[in-house]
Amino acid sequence: MLSLPIDKVLKLFVFLCLGMPVVGCACGRLPGLIRAIYAGSFDPMTHGHLDIIKRATKLFDEVVMAVVANPGKSPLLPVEIRKMLISRAVEGIPGVTVEDFHGLTVNYAKQKKVYILVRGLRAITDFENELAMAQTNKELFPELETIFLMSKAEYSFISSTMVKEIARLGGDVSQFVPQCVNNYLKEHFSRGAE
């Protein structure tokens, strides 16, 4: 009986579902690198985001955390700061790169020649919005597939919007965000820093 480690099984599963070759795949096809994009504003990054990225690296050889600069939103943190904090938070996770971009995620994916988007879902209300976005992205870029990962139950209530509001009002967000993000928010948004 063939016994493979779980990461190889998951990569083989992705190969079979998406028809993309995988590094080290025992399926007899040419090896290749499966890359995915996990795009978002990450304003700020939360434990939920970190959990999704860790789990995505078990499925894909490289995951690009793509920080979008959305001029339509009023960000708590500038893109450069978000990118720096995310880089610190994912420092020990192999296969993760952090970049920023402007514009549509589908255009960024085309430019990078990446055909998989990773999206995290916290609740059924997220699914409705994410499904509409995935279907729109598919119309704009037919080769693009969207993979949904459900958040762990302990992170299902955490949102960047909630964390942003608590931080703006000088509250403690340490249980919701990675340590480096907490340190930055505490230094720049605590009541004493205003």
Query: 112, 122, 138, 186: which is the annotated catalytic residue?
Result: 122
Q: Which domains does the chain have, with CATH numbers?
A: 1-32 (no CATH), 34-159 (3.40.50.620)
122 part of the active site:
yes
Identify any residues that bridge with 65 across adjacent strands, giving them in sequence order.
38, 98
1: exposed, middle or buried (C-beta count within 10 Å: 0-12, 13-18, 19+)? exposed
The structure's pTM equals 0.81
pLDDT, tens digit, for every residue of 67-92?
998 767 788 999 999 999 999 999 99
**159 annotated active-site:** no
pLDDT in tens, 95-108: 999 999 999 999 99
Catalytic-residue membership of 190: no
Q: E strand or H helix at 101, and its extent? A: strand 96-101
Tell me whether residue 3 is one of the annotated catalytic residues: no
Identify the three-state secondary structure at position 117.
strand
